[in-house]
């Protein structure tokens, strides 16, 4: 008799728990947002074909991540796979097609953060890792460290069995031309606002933030940094707190733009702290950091963010930011210009 | 007549302003705090001679910075010169006497932030810069970037005319022995708590935070990272937001400890945001981050901090932290153990 009661109770509680758990899960709106870089992106400088190529690739990248989330995958997996699509496309400044440093080489930076565990991984100055975001995740999962750099990052990724490619794989005609243009001017271009404004391919990044059905947030960022960068410069993309941050208590953030200003502003973490400590919305937090902090210092760029309730922010102080958003409530958008 | 009135008014307001300004200045308590690393520092493992050597060197370093502040120097200069003293001493894990990586080489990280301008500079993985904190300041002042790494950092520092030394200059018998001990154990030592607790020379950092007579805060951190670090690992010391942060609106912070946890916690910036956004005291903010955040993740270490009113925090979750504090109110302390 005791056995039967126990079995019935067990069945009841199991069913009950699964009903509650499935109800809770369906209450959580899963969501994904990506960016492909911010900058002086003007419609008059864009051909119809190029515009279409960007929109198609952004849609492909966000649909890959969304489909994973829909099928119950973790936000970590969605972030990795969406970013991989953009890294493999020569359109964006990450992986293949990344910008060139002053020695005409590609040096890649990336970071990833898991908002549930606060685990994080990053690589900087890598020269042979095909998909830097996957290497950042491998650093997080399989090394005692959070951040590896230079040859060490390349070696670690190779040991992990990640795809290794010669540096020439990353280099495109378009980025070689951009470097030539910058080099024509003898002084460092970024001290000259006028010049800076005229060159729209100097920086850029790709990034993704996702909230999965379990309510876990992840964020990742991957980039080649800034055209003509020198002395093994590290930008904000591989810096946890600057270019990438995720915390289930507040939000996930990925930034793109003039990295130096995002480092000085600890931009991604500042947005998360405004949400957590000041109890303001993610849209307001992103607006404050991008327009009232970074722009005031003289910096330009944008961010994408998702909070623990699935609310999304896509904020920029530039003329455009390649971006897309998709969620379980049926929202879907792919945009380029700031006034889109 | 109008001219005379105007002149008198001008004289009156000028004097008045200078009285107000000098009154304001004397009201601002200038202050300086340094650390020489946190860890399992136990009295029973320390000789009287070594203890005295640490106390003397800490006192020398803080007196150099204090004296500069007293004579009207900027907090930036005080931070740099105090840290230089500790970098040049083989007692601390920074500059000469830094810990060794898995290849028996020294790789140096440092960062600096100016709380008035929010300017910042950092270097990581340098192998020939005698005084890394001075190179971090040079990156801030004389490069378009915030963070340089590896050979690029070494090259930039040499171009700047900073002292360059062979890597052997940094290497000491004590650190070679510590590396041998760690290497005896085949698995990564930091996964084994028991082992980790028994080795007190695995990490460490030096740092300084100062508030000058103008009310400006600066913070800097310099380190060799962790013994046996691999793959060009970057720790928290050169990461703005993690190991170093300064903002006149809140406070300046320098961290020391198990860097990976300080990166994941964006520790220095979190303390500043708790002060600015939650309006809590610097002591409470440091306590929350060190004991309720970093310790909960499994991390160990400590921080020093000064807020815009000159209040100081020196917080650790380890058995000790080499530290000293001195201010214009007559406070003076040099301490080693957590229960000092």
User: CATH no. for residue A104?
Assistant: 3.60.20.30
Residue B185 has pLDDT above 60, yes or no: yes
Characterize the bridge pairing of strands B320-327 and B332-337: antiparallel
Chain A contact for B196 (CB, 8 A cutoff)? no
pLDDT digits 0-9 by tens, B188-213 = 444 434 334 434 456 789 999 999 99
Q: Is residue A286 part of a domain?
A: yes
What is the spatial distance between Cα A241 and Cα A77, in angstroms, rounded to a whole number?
21
Q: Residues A190, A195, A199, CA angle at the centre, nearest 5°?
A: 90
Residue A23: inside a domain: no
Q: How many CA atoms, within 13 angstroms, populate the side-chain half-sphere of residue A207? A: 39
Mind telling me how many Å the CA of A116 is from chain B's nearest CA? 12
pLDDT at residue A95 greater than cutoff 80: yes
Average pLDDT over residues B140-164: 97
Taking CB atoms and an 8 Å limit, are B234 and A124 in contact across chains? yes
* pLDDT of B23: 41
Check B278 against A274: CB less than 8 A apart.
no
Flag whether pLDDT at B254 surpasses 60: yes
| Residue A124 in this model has a pLDDT that exceeds 80 | yes
- Using the Cβ of B225 and the Cβ atoms of chain A, whether some distance falls under 8 Å is answered with no
Substitution target from B232, B236, B293 for chain A, most A beta carbons within 10 A: B232
pLDDT, position A201: 56
Beta strands at B120-126 and B332-337: parallel, antiparallel or unpaired: unpaired
Q: What is the pLDDT of residue B195?
A: 38
Smallest CA–CA distance from B278 into chain A, residue: A277
Rounded to a whole number of angstroms, the distance from the CA of A174 to the nearest CA of chain B is 24
Exposed/middle/buried for residue B4 (C-beta within 10 Å: 0-12, 13-18, 19+): exposed
Q: How far is B150 from chain A (nearest CA, A)?
A: 7
Q: How much is the pLDDT for A197?
A: 43
pLDDT band at A40; cut points 50, 70, 90: confident
Kindly list the catalytic residues of A: 205
Q: Is A114 helix (H, G, I), strand (E, B) or coil?
A: strand
Task: Answer whether B263's CB lies under 8 Å from B298's CB.
Answer: no
Answer with the residue of higher pLDDT: A65 or A189.
Answer: A65
Q: Taking residues B261-272, report their average pLDDT.
A: 98
How many whole angstroms separate alpha carbon A145 and alpha carbon A301? 29
Mean pLDDT within A158-174: 97
| Six token digits for residue A65 | 């991540």
Chains A, B: CB contacts under 8 A, how many?
A: 149
The DSSP secondary structure of A11-31, one letter per residue, reads HHHHHHHHHHHHHHHHHS--E
* Residue that wins the pLDDT comparison between B68 and A23: B68
| Residue A161 predicted with pLDDT over 80 | yes
Q: List all residues of chain B from 85 to 124 with a beta carbon under 8 Å from chain A.
A: 113, 118-120, 122, 124
Euclidean distance between CA atoms A290 and A268, whole angstroms: 10
Tokens for A196, please give them: 């800076």
Place of tokens 């870089």: A37
- In order of A91, A132, A176, B286, the CA distances from A51 in angstroms are 10, 26, 21, 49
Residue A206 has a pLDDT of 97
The position carrying tokens 């989330």 is A69
Cβ within 8 Å, pair A233-B145: yes
Asked whether residue A122 is assigned to any structural domain, the reply reads yes
Percentage of chain A with pLDDT > 70?
87
What span, in angstroms and rounded, lies between the C-alpha atoms of B66 and B334?
13
- Provide the CA B203 distance to its chain's centre, in angstroms: 14
Residue in the structure block whose two tokens are 């009841």 = A12
Minimum mean pLDDT range among B15-24, B75-84, B194-203, B318-327: B15-24
For the segment B216-225, the average pLDDT, to the nearest whole number, is: 98
CA distance A230 to chain B (A): 7
Backbone φ and ψ for B100, nearest 5 degrees, come out as -105, 145
Q: What is the pLDDT of residue B46?
A: 86
Do A211 and A217 touch, CB atoms closer than 8 A? yes
Chain B partners of A151 at a C-beta cutoff of 8 Å?
232
Which residues of B are part of the catalytic machinery?
205
pLDDT of residue B208: 98
A-chain CB neighbours of B278 within 8 Å are: 277
C-alpha to C-alpha distance for B113 and B211, rounded to whole angstroms: 12
Nearest Cα to Cα of residue B149 among A127, A244, A7: A127
Lowest mean pLDDT among A74-88, A116-130, B15-29, B157-171: B15-29
What per-residue confidence (pLDDT) applies to B212? 98
Mutate to test the interface with A, among B234, B245, B297, B298 (most CBs of A within 10 A): B234
Q: Which of A202-206, A241-245, B238-242 has the lowest mean pLDDT?
A: A202-206
Q: How confident is the model at residue A185, as a pLDDT?
A: 66
Q: Quick check: A310 pLDDT over 50?
A: yes
Continuous H helices in A199-338: 259-264, 267-277, 282-287, 295-297
> Is residue B218 classed exposed, middle or buried when 0-12, 13-18 and 19+ CB atoms within 10 A define those classes?
buried
Interatomic CA distance for residues B297 and B286, integer angstroms? 16
Chain mean pLDDT for chain B: 89
| Domain span at A129 | 29-337
Q: Tell me the pLDDT tens digit for each residue of A284-297.
A: 999 999 999 999 99
Q: pTM for this structure?
A: 0.91
Residue A13 covered by a domain: no
> Is A240 within 8 Å of B266 when comparing Cβ atoms?
yes
Are the beta carbons of B180 and B174 closer than 8 angstroms?
Answer: no
Count of structural domains, chain A: 1
Average pLDDT over every residue of B127-149: 97
Residues of B in contact with A155 (CB under 8 A): 231
For residue B262, is it within any domain? yes
Once rounded to an integer, what is the mean pLDDT over residues A37-65?
Answer: 92
Number of Cβ within a 10 Å radius of residue A216: 21
Nearest-CA neighbor of B136 among B56, B239, B9? B239
Question: Distance between CA A143 and CA B143 in Å, rounded?
Answer: 32
B259 CB within 8 Å of a chain A CB: yes
Q: Where are the beta strands (DSSP E) in chain B?
A: 31-39, 108-114, 120-126, 147-149, 206-211, 217-223, 233-234, 244-246, 251-257, 301-307, 312-316, 320-327, 332-337
Contact status of B3 with chain A (Cβ, < 8 Å): no
């Amino acid at each position: 008799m005791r056995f039967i009661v126990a079995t019935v109770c067990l069945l009841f509680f199991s069913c009950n728990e699964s009903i509650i758990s499935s109800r809770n899960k369906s209450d959580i709106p899963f969501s994904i947002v990506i960016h492909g870089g911010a900058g002086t992106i003007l419609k008059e400088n864009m051909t119809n074909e190029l515009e279409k190529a960007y929109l198609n690739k952004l849609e492909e990248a966000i649909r890959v991540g969304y489909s994973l989330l829909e099928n119950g995958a973790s936000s970590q997996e969605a972030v990795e796979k969406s970013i991989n699509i953009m890294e493999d496309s020569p359109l964006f400044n990450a992986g293949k097609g990344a910008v060139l440093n002053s020695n005409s080489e590609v040096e890649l930076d990336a970071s990833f953060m898991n908002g549930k565990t606060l685990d994080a991984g990053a690589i900087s100055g890598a020269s042979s890792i095909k998909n830097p975001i996957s290497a950042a995740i491998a650093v997080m999962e399989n090394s005692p460290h959070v951040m590896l750099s230079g040859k060490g990052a390349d070696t670690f990724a190779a040991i992990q069995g990640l795809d290794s490619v010669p540096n020439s794989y990353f280099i495109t005609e378009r980025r070689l031309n951009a470097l030539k243009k910058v080099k024509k001017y003898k002084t460092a271009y970024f001290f000259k606002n006028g010049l800076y404004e005229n060159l729209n391919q100097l920086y850029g990044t790709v990034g993704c933030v996702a909230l999965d059905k379990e309510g876990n947030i992840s964020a990742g960022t991957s980039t080649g940094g800034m055209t003509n960068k020198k002395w093994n410069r590290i930008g904000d993309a591989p810096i946890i707190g600057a270019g990438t941050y995720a915390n289930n208590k507040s939000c996930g953030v990925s930034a793109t733009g003039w990295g130096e200003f995002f480092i000085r502003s600890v931009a991604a973490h500042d947005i998360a702290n405004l949400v957590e400590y000041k109890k303001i919305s993610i849209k307001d937090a992103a607006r404050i950091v991008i327009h009232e902090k970074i722009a005031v210092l003289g910096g330009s760029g944008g961010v994408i963010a998702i909070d623990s309730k699935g609310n999304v922010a896509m904020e920029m102080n530039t003329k455009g930011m390649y971006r897309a958003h998709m969620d379980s409530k049926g929202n879907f958008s792919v945009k380029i210009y700031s006034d889109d």
